[in-house]
Amino acid sequence: MKQFNIHPTDKSIANSIQQKIDHLNKPKGSLGRLEELAMQVCMIQHTLSPSLNHPCHLLLGGDHGIEREGVSVSPREVTWQQMINFTHGGGGVNMFCRQHGFDLSIVDVGVDYDLSKVEGVINRKIARGTRNFLHEPAMSEEQFNRTIEVGCELVDDCAKKGCQILSVGEMGIANTSPSSIWMSLFGDIPLDECIGAGAGLSNPGIEHKRQVLNAALKQYNETMVPSDENAIRYFGGFEMVAAIGAMLRAAEQGMIVLVDGFIMTACAIAAIRLYPAAQDYMIFTHCGDESGHRRMLDIVGAKPLLNLGLRLGEGTGALCAFPIIDSAVRMINEMNNFDTAKITKYF
């Protein structure tokens, strides 16, 4: 696997940042999480005057071999149909990107359909879907390495545009299944407690999903040498592994990384397992409705900004949270301090 050079954010300027925040014309600590966010963004950018130039959103599409086992209520053709819908501007991700000024890239990393002639889709296809991890690894080592590189290349393209803040979303039917297994393995949580309804499975459907995923995990434990990288490769989708590569490359580039819901939190945890310092660059934006998402966030001690009951995916929770981060940056850059406002500092 590609090696990354990710350093923890420099805490040496934390006192200077805190002094600037505390000297703004407001009661000390009165802007709560905005103050915490301003501190994090300043440390990521190593400045007391941060900015959020050219926000970019990567929408990554891929299909999953495990879908053949009936673990999702949605058929796999929904993946490519939605990818085409995104090019027409008709998805939730399109609306929120327009609203908040994000540069949207729609990327086919592994959709089981020929999208090569669809205008608006970036072709980075590794294969037409992963293999069925009930029986074998979802991807080969070569495919895994290439998929990580694809995520890196996409971030490099964003960096060339001046991007300072990146969000990543996904489109891939059945991708709650690998996410649940990663949650179990990386959080040391019984698998049954990590499995939910996904896009809307019934109770019998959830039970069937539990049986399939438990069998797949048993197969993995019997045939593979347990390691973080092997677990990522054995179960992950192309869109998910590309997201891991993107998050790691963005952290290496010193970008702010917005983490969305259940699927992207699973990818973020996988990235953190590989490179713990990557978490310094991540803002966990949303706690969704998928069973266990709160527990998944607890694995890395994350405090999500929003709890809106979203379970759409696509990175929509991250996009909805952007104005809060923007407010934090505006706070530290635009508020008067006690001196300029000629207000007595009373603490």
Let me know: does 170 contact 243? Beta carbons within 8 Å.
yes
Alpha helices in the chain (DSSP H): 14-22, 32-45, 77-87, 92-100, 141-160, 176-187, 203-223, 228-235, 238-252, 262-274, 293-299, 316-334, 338-341
Let me know: does 84 contact 152? Beta carbons within 8 Å.
no
136 labelled catalytic: no
Q: Give the Å distances, CA to CA, from 317 to 168, 261, 291.
A: 10, 7, 16
Structure tokens at 316: 């929509």
Residue 167 bridge partners (DSSP): 57, 258
Q: Which of 149, 170, 314, 334 is catalytic?
A: 314
Q: Give the Å distances, CA to CA, from 257 to 128, 130, 254.
A: 28, 26, 9
Q: Rg (Cα) of the chain, in Å, rounded? A: 20
Of 264, 271, 256, give the one whose Cα is nearest residue 286.
264
Phi-psi region of 298 (alpha: psi -120 to 50; beta: other; left: phi over 0): alpha
* C-beta contacts of 74-79 below 8 A and 24+ residues apart: 74/173, 74/199, 74/200, 75/173, 76/112, 76/129, 76/173, 76/174, 77/113, 78/173, 79/111, 79/112, 79/113, 79/171, 79/172, 79/173
Catalytic residues: 314
